[in-house]
Amino acid sequence: DAKTTQPNSMESNEEEPVHLPCNHSTISGTDYIHWYRQLPSQGPEYVIHGLTSNVNNRMASLAIAEDRKSSTLILHRATLRDAAVYYCILRPHGSSNTGKLIFGQGTTLQVKP
Amino acid sequence: GAVVSQHPSWVICKSGTSVKIECRSLDFQATTMFWYRQFPKQSLMLMATSNEGSKATYEQGVEKDKFLINHASLTLSTLTVTSAHPEDSSFYICSARALQGQYFGPGTRLTVL
């Protein structure tokens, strides 16, 4: 499974944008980039995913580098409820893929009021 | 999004007893479910992939006779921790694969005394 590298922790001020980086230099052509987040004592929550083009949804935006070797999750306006561990995960697509998600260490985001 | 539930949300048991944790997909059918374990301040570790109607596939290092998985229907998978010991105390999280993505349960906190 292709690996991802994320900073251990980041800080942000409330109501400011947050850019969470992820490096995945060994990504393959069939790997989708998924982002999940986990609040304390809860299961992970889906945030966003993409393949090549940038993606937007109500929670966040995903900016994918042209060579796909890195991506950035963008929270446009951080709130205290966004404080969580954010995981960037590569998931291969194809009939032979079981769909399992392998979690790295993630980035712990702290949001200061 | 799709909803995955777990029961119980927490359980305390004596060493040597067995504990069963249920994972249900509430509004969709899931042919594939996943079981994870998470120790404090660590990331999620995939334990096994559960397929409806067939034997589970365990990750390397996970004892299949200790962590019994049954996926008897398209909406229910169970994980039984047999002869639990204090080192099995952990946060157990299940995940179910839907057409539109993969969704996680809220987790079960197991404490073995």
pLDDT digits (tens, 9 = 90+) for A61-77: 999 999 999 999 999 99
* Alpha carbons A113 and B59: distance in angstroms, whole number: 41
pLDDT band at A99 (very low <50, low <70, confident <90, very high): confident
- Asked if residue B17 has pLDDT above 70, the reply is yes
Nearest CA in chain B to A86: B43
pLDDT band at A86 (very low <50, low <70, confident <90, very high): very high
Instruction: Give pLDDT tens digits for B59-83.
Output: 999 999 999 999 989 999 999 999 9
Cβ contacts of A104 on chain B, cutoff 8 Å: 43
pLDDT at position A97: 56
* Alpha carbons B1 and A111: distance in angstroms, whole number: 26
> How many angstroms away from the CA of A44 is the closest CA of chain B?
6
pLDDT at position A96: 52
Q: Cβ separation of B103 and A46 shorter than 8 Å? A: yes
Selected residue with higher pLDDT from B17 and A100: B17
Mean predicted lDDT score pLDDT of chain A: 92
Cβ contacts of B36 on chain A, cutoff 8 Å: 103
Q: Cβ separation of A43 and B95 shorter than 8 Å? A: yes
> How many angstroms away from the CA of A63 is the closest CA of chain B?
20
Please state whether A81 falls in left (phi above 0), alpha (psi between -120 and 50) or beta: alpha
> How many angstroms away from the CA of A99 is the closest CA of chain B?
8
pLDDT band at A1 (very low <50, low <70, confident <90, very high): low
- Asked if residue A95 has pLDDT above 60, the reply is no
pLDDT band at A112 (very low <50, low <70, confident <90, very high): very high
Q: Cβ separation of A99 and B104 shorter than 8 Å? A: no
- Flag whether residue A99 sits within 8 Å of chain B, measured between CB atoms: yes
Cβ contacts of A42 on chain B, cutoff 8 Å: 106-107
Is A17 in contact with A111 (CB distance < 8 Å)? no
- pLDDT more than 70, % of chain A: 94
Q: Which residue has the tokens 């067939």?
A: B54
Selected residue with higher pLDDT from A29 and A22: A22
> How many angstroms away from the CA of A94 is the closest CA of chain B?
14
Strand, coil or helix: A70: strand
- Asked if residue A94 has pLDDT above 70, the reply is no
